[in-house]
Amino acid sequence: MNNERIAALVRQLLAEIGEDPDREGLEGTPMRVAQAYEYLTSGYREDPEEIINGAVFESCSNNMIICRDIELYSLCEHHMLPFYGRCHVGYIARKKVLGLSKLARLADCYARRLQIQERLTAQIAEAIMQATEAEGVGVVMECRHLCMMMRGVAKQNSIMTTSSVLGSFHDEEATRMEFLDLIGREVR
């Protein structure tokens, strides 16, 4: 990213909305915004395979492995406003397990891109399936979207829930129900 160019664009944006980019409170804002976007979009410059970095371990385990409440923050691709929430990940290992921190790092890698929640949920599930060759993978995400909260319909208490289920989580109702039960989600 070219932070100098982005800062110049932010400076221009400030002027376009009627602000004085030279006033005291805004002098450093263009560069701070550029640096913030560099971080918030760092997922474009990360490779999921490098994140995993060999942290796939042989295991005789074939039970369900779950990590709940992974917090995540992303930017909606439609308005470039934040959405945030939590992600629950589960998979049934065949012969490989993934280092626990890698689940959160994969979620961050995909979340730090312009996103829609539906795609983000699927990308995390697919990356885990590919890395572990699991029997099945399930990802459930619950997020609040500022594009819906602070503009448009202005619904403050809405939470969007998405899921992506692959392999046995998709094909076998009992497996899917066990996963949902273990993460504390009611199915209606």
In this structure, is the dihedral angle defined by the CA atoms of residues 91, 96, 102 and 106, taken in order, positive or negative? negative
Active site residue 147: yes
Rounded to the nearest 10°, the torsion over CA 12, 18, 24, 27 is -10
Give the count of domains, the chain.
2
Catalytic residue among 19, 79, 130, 172: 79
Q: How far is CA 179 from the centre of its chain?
A: 20
What's the whole-number mean pLDDT along residues 164-184?
Answer: 96
> Band of the pLDDT at 186, cuts 50, 70, 90?
low
Catalytic residue among 109, 117, 135, 143: 117
Q: Which domain holds residue 14?
A: 3-40
Mean model confidence pLDDT for the chain = 94
Return the percent helix, strand and coil in the chain, to nearest 5: 45, 25, 30
**Whether the predicted pLDDT of 36 surpasses 80:** yes
Do 129 and 87 belong to one domain? yes
Residue 102 near residue 126, CB atoms below 8 Å:
no
Do 14 and 97 belong to one domain? no
Assess if residue 140 is contained within a domain.
yes
Active site residue 88: no
CATH code: domain of residue 60: 3.30.1130.10
Q: Look up the pTM and report it.
A: 0.92
Inter-axis angle of helices 100-111 and 117-132, nearest 10: 140
Q: What is the pLDDT of residues 108-135, one digit of tens each?
A: 999 999 999 999 999 999 999 999 999 9
**Angle in degrees, CA 143, 138, 37, rounded to 5:** 40
Share of the chain above pLDDT 90, in %: 84
Non-local CB neighbours of 98 within 8 Å, separated by 6+ positions: 52, 55, 56, 57, 91, 128, 131, 132
Catalytic residue among 4, 27, 71, 77: 77
Do 149 and 100 belong to one domain? yes
What's the whole-number mean pLDDT along residues 3-31?
Answer: 97
Closest CA to 84 of 139, 43, 40: 40
Assess if residue 187 is contained within a domain.
no
Active site residue 78: yes
**Angle in degrees, CA 64, 65, 67, rounded to 5:** 140
pLDDT of residue 136: 97
Assess if residue 46 is contained within a domain.
no
Catalytic residue among 67, 76, 87, 109: 76
> Band of the pLDDT at 188, cuts 50, 70, 90?
very low
Active site residue 170: no
Catalytic residue among 35, 142, 147, 172: 147
Assess if residue 59 is contained within a domain.
yes
Structure tokens at 14: 């400030």
Active site residue 12: no
Active site residue 35: no
Assess if residue 48 is contained within a domain.
no
